[in-house]
């Protein structure tokens, strides 16, 4: 063995632990094949922490995360706690973790899998060859800006929020996007609303200057976010890396999710601080938890992103991605994606899908 990756495993609630177990197996198998070791330690988060009499993000969990090389995260959320005030919900753990680890860049690949092209509501011929990386700013902008709240004046009650970005916050997330573009097709599109908002004028100026000064090799274009949303469904192949502030990125990445067509297939990475967090886009799916039927592929693809962004092990990451494509091409399907694939389909459990991916990573 040449080196060791220390992974904090936070399975969380519902199907989180089920899919994270398969992601960890894929990661360890990739390690065996590519000659590195994966050490893992689990910790409580979300409702499972609250049930054990702790905070949604216990101190010891945050401590473990800070001492790790990367975090494999499942999902948090449990309907039994739905009536708690917002600041006590199990889901808050994730926001605290993002803030606590300064995970300012959220990366979501939009790469429709050839075997599942029919799952999207967009025509298959528009999707062939689509490979987009959405980079969303994650810890600032309208969702975090102050002042915020409610007030009242002569016209009655009002609510207000603030979209505020410092240049430094724009530069650091834009660098993540430019660097990613450099490893891909060298194209970056920055979505903004510079025609309506001062903060977005600053965004555009800052991204332009950074591009000119430090990334002259990257073809940069700017797009108003409303046009960008339309272009994403009209002609998605034009995009390589797509950069957006927090709220715009939130919306654009859900459009990206629909391009791929299936929630159980979407991985994500949150990076920027010293320790990256890797999680499927889906939630804890309480309706299917404990039944052994959850699709583990989004979690497994998140483990692949971990290898790319936290370990720089690109061959091992590619082996995971290729293994997922290969099991789908062979007809393996969990129930959620079983309608795609015709007569060739073999409906399998969460664990059986994990077994199939592991076998492919081993080269069998």
Give the residue among 349, 359, 361 at the shortest CA–CA distance from 19.
Answer: 349
Distance CA 235, CA 325 (A): 23
Q: Which is nearer to ligand NAD, 64 or 94 (CB)?
A: 94
Is 217 among the catalytic positions?
Answer: no
Of positions 294, 301, 305, 319, contacts ligand NAD by CB under 6 A: 294
Distance CA 214, CA 196 (A): 27
Of positions 10, 49, 71, 94, contacts ligand NAD by CB under 6 A: 94
Is 59 among the catalytic positions?
Answer: no
Catalytic member of 37, 63, 183, 226: 226
Residue 88 corresponds to which tokens in the numbers above? 């006590």
Q: Which is nearer to ligand NAD, 179 or 250 (CB)?
A: 250
Tell me whether strands 156-160 and 276-280 are parallel, antiparallel or unpaired.
Answer: unpaired
Q: Which is nearer to ligand NAD, 19 or 199 (CB)?
A: 19
Is 287 among the catalytic positions?
Answer: no
What CA dihedral angle connects 251, 350, 73 and 103, to 10 degrees? -30
Of positions 140, 206, 253, 284, contacts ligand NAD by CB under 6 A: 284
Catalytic member of 69, 78, 193, 336: 193
Binding to ligand NAD in span 51-90, by CB under 6 A: 75-77
Distance CA 339, CA 22 (A): 23
Binding to ligand NAD in span 153-172, by CB under 6 A: none
Of positions 65, 117, 288, 305, contacts ligand NAD by CB under 6 A: 288
What CA dihedral angle connects 359, 310, 298 and 294, to 10 degrees? 80
Is 250 among the catalytic positions?
Answer: yes
Q: Does 282 bind ligand NAD (CB under 6 A)?
A: yes
Stretch that binds ligand NAD, among 59-67, 117-125, 244-252, 279-287 (CB under 6 A): 279-287
Angle CA 192–195–200, to nearest 5: 40
Is 215 among the catalytic positions?
Answer: no
What CA dihedral angle connects 310, 269, 244 and 191, to 10 degrees? 90
Binding to ligand NAD in span 319-358, by CB under 6 A: 336
Taking the complex as a whole, the smallest distance from the CB of residue 341 to ligand NAD amounts, in Å, to 16
Stretch that binds ligand NAD, among 155-163, 184-192, 247-255, 287-295 (CB under 6 A): 287-295
Q: Which is nearer to ligand NAD, 260 or 295 (CB)?
A: 295
Distance CA 300, CA 18 (A): 11
Sequence-ordered strand ranges (E) for the chain: 3-12, 36-42, 70-75, 105-110, 132-137, 149-153, 156-160, 187-192, 219-224, 241-244, 267-271, 276-280, 332-333, 346-347
Report the SS3 class of residue 19. Answer: helix
Residue 239 corresponds to which tokens in the numbers above? 């995009």
Taking the complex as a whole, the smallest distance from the CB of residue 22 to ligand NAD amounts, in Å, to 10
Catalytic member of 102, 131, 179, 250: 250
Of positions 142, 194, 263, 338, contacts ligand NAD by CB under 6 A: 263
- Would you tell me which residues interact with ligand NAD (CB under 6 A)? 15, 19, 75-77, 91, 94, 263-264, 279, 282-288, 294-295, 298, 336
Catalytic residue annotation: 143, 193, 226, 250, 254
């Amino acid at each position: 063995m040449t080196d060791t990756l220390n992974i904090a495993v936070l399975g969380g609630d519902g199907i989180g632990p089920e899919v994270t177990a398969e992601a960890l197996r894929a990661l360890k198998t990739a390690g065996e094949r590519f000659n590195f070791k994966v050490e893992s330690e689990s910790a409580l988060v979300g409702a499972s922490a609250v049930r054990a009499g702790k905070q949604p993000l216990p101190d010891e969990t945050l401590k473990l995360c800070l001492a790790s090389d990367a975090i494999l995260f499942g999902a948090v959320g449990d309907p039994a706690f739905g009536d708690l005030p917002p600041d006590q919900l199990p889901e808050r753990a994730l926001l605290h973790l993002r803030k606590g680890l300064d995970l300012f860049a959220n990366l979501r690949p939009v790469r429709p899998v050839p075997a599942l092209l029919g799952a999207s509501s967009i025509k298959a011929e528009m999707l062939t060859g689509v490979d987009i990386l959405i980079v969303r700013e994650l810890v600032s902008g309208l969702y975090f800006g102050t002042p915020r709240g409610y007030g009242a004046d002569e016209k009655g009650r009002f609510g207000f929020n603030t979209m505020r970005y410092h240049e430094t916050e724009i530069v650091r997330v834009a660098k993540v996007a430019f660097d990613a573009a450099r490893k891909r097709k060298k194209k970056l599109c920055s979505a903004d609303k510079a025609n309506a908002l001062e903060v977005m004028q600053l965004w555009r100026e800052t991204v332009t200057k950074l591009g000119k000064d430090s990334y002259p090799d990257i073809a940069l274009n700017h797009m108003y976010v409303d046009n960008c949303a339309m272009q994403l469904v009209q002609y998605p192949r034009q995009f390589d890396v797509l950069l957006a502030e927090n709220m715009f990125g939130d919306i654009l990445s859900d459009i990206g999710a629909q391009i791929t067509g299936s929630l159980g297939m979407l991985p994500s990475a949150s990076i920027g601080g010293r320790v990256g967090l890797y999680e499927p886009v889906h939630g804890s799916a309480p309706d299917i938890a404990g039944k052994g039927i959850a699709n583990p592929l989004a979690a497994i693809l998140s483990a692949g992103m971990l290898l790319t962004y936290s370990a720089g092990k690109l061959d091992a990451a590619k082996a995971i991605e290729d293994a997922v494509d290969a099991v789908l091409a062979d007809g393996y399907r969990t129930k959620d994606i079983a309608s795609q694939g015709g007569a060739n389909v073999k409906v399998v459990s969460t664990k059986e899908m994990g077994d199939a991916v592991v076998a492919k990573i081993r080269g069998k």
